[in-house]
Amino acid sequence: MNAFRGLIAVLGIALLAAATAWLNLSRVLVVIPYLAFVFFLVGFSYRILLWAGSPVPFRITTTCGQQKSLPWIKHAPLENPSTGWGVLGRMFLEVFLFRSLSRNSRARLRDGKVSFRPDQWLWLGAWAFHWSLLVILLRHLRFFLQPIPAMVNRIERIDGFLQIGFPHVYLSDLVIVCALTYLIKRRLHDPLLRFVSLFSDYFVLVLLGGIVLSGLLMRFAFRDDLLAVKQFALSLAALRPHVPTSVSPLFVIHLMLVSTLVAYFPASKLVHMAGVFLSPTRNLANNNRAKRHFNPWNAPVVSRSYADWEHDFQNKLRAAAIPLEVKDAGKAVTD
């Protein structure tokens, strides 16, 4: 049901964009991207400030390796970092290789027994999706920059090295289609995952699928005026918007879907892009054995030491034949 609702929502956005193009409401194309960017900027900043203001008085690092302790005990510097350099290495592996996700496992009930087995498919699908999406975003910089940076041209040549068809099929396009297909199929096929999946989970996946599909259709089936598209993108980037007149309804649909994703980004789970850097379970060194951490905003409390307590009750302790540990200036008592 949630998957169907997500599909209907994306189709509704696409129909609204098509109606905008057919009614020649071209000025809407200028307003929508700016509104989406404002929503993204405000929402993203709010989430960052909310995370940054959360109290984290102690080290709550999530670990799966041996903490540094005695010299003769082997330490896992990346799985349980104790220094800033170790945290940097751990974050690098987490951000670029999804190291924690590579240890994903599945629990299944077989013949009345619970079995665990590694599940690398989710790691592979997520890794392929994120990297292919990054390459596609970098390739799209050619529409917003003039002259086009050499790095963008180099990425485009490497991405299209297969030279299949005309226009060339980009490797990132094939990868992102396969990755999105797997991620959607995974939620629909697994009954346990389908039970816990929300509308927002399906909506984002279908929305990304709509963006990819509309982009591929514009490249291979319904060719658009790329010069007009680039002029429009450059005008948006220069804050001097130019109302396009020769773009197709498919481009309007693509733009509307992208704007929806950008505006919805801060309110969705996609904001983990920033959360991974701000999570105290990842970005802190686990040095609790080497250094004692105090809560900096603890209210002052009048405490009573054991020496004071023993001094007040020393007569009763002696009467009960309980040896005293502290005497006057803290000297040990031997009875």
Q: Enumerate the domain spans of the chain.
A: 2-301, 304-335
pLDDT at 319 > cutoff 80? yes
Q: What is the predicted pLDDT for the residue at 146?
A: 84
What span, in angstroms and rounded, lies between the C-alpha atoms of 208 and 176? 10
Question: Which amino acid is located at 35 in the chain?
Answer: L
Taken as a whole, the chain contains a residue count of 335
What is the reported pLDDT for 204?
A: 92
Whether 269 contacts 203, CB under 8 Å: no
Beta-bridge mates of residue 39: none
CATH for 2-301 (3.30.390.30, 1.20.950.20, 3.40.50.360, 2.20.25.10): 1.20.950.20
How large is the greatest C-alpha to C-alpha distance in the chain, in angstroms? Answer: 101
Q: Given a cut of 60, is residue 140 above it in pLDDT? A: yes
The answer to whether residue 177 scores a pLDDT higher than 70 is: yes
Give the residue-averaged pLDDT of 220-228. 80
Q: How far is CA 41 from the centre of its chain?
A: 16
Residue 328 has pLDDT above 60, yes or no: no
pLDDT per residue as tens digits for the range 63-106: 888 888 888 999 888 888 988 898 999 999 989 988 888 888 77
Those residues whose C-beta lies under 8 Å from the C-beta of residue 304, and which sit 6 or more positions away, are: none
Q: Calculate the average pLDDT of the chain.
A: 85
Average pLDDT over residues 237-246: 80
Instruction: Identify the band that residue 331 occupies on the pLDDT scale cut at 50, 70 and 90.
Output: very low
> Whole-prediction pTM value?
0.80
Query: Which residue in 290, 264, 323 sits closest to 44, CA to CA?
Result: 264
Task: For tokens 């008085």, name the residue.
Answer: 57
Give yes or no for a cis peptide into 77 (omega within 30° of 0). Answer: no
